[in-house]
Amino acid sequence: MLTFMFHYRFIAFVWNSATAQFDAIRFKAEGATVSQLRSVLASELDRSIQRVRFGPCNLEVPKKSAIRLLFDEVLNPFYIFQIFSISLWLYESYFLYSFSILFISTGSVLIGLYETI
């Protein structure tokens, strides 16, 4: 028997020919305690069947580059407003105020980038 299966957002879907649609694969013992799971999956054969059905118990989150994280941080609406206010204060010749906003905003972006990485 041929089974069609795909993964979307870390959820596995399998083709159900009775309903003619893809169904999410759910673990039958959801909400069970550890001792109940051990009794259900007592044999190595049961565990290997579950590994084949659900795949490895890994959640791989793609890592973004530092440049991409920096652009995501700077394109935050708050920092766009800060850029606008810096340009406005520079236009009005308030250099000290605009440079202090630039210094604080740059520090905030770098700290946010460091914490995210």
**Residues 15, 5 contacting (CB under 8 angstroms):** yes
Per-residue pLDDT of the chain (117 residues; tens, 9 = 90+): 557 788 887 778 888 888 889 888 776 666 677 777 666 666 777 777 777 777 777 777 788 888 998 888 888 899 999 999 999 999 999 999 999 999 999 999 999 889 888
What phi, psi does 19 have (nearest 5°)?
-100, -5
Give which of 112, 114, 117 is closest to 74, Cα–Cα. 112
Distance, CA of 92 to CA of 98 (rounded, Å): 10
Largest CA distance in the chain: 76
Listed by start position, the domains of the chain span 5-54, 66-116
Distance, CA of 5 to CA of 15 (rounded, Å): 6
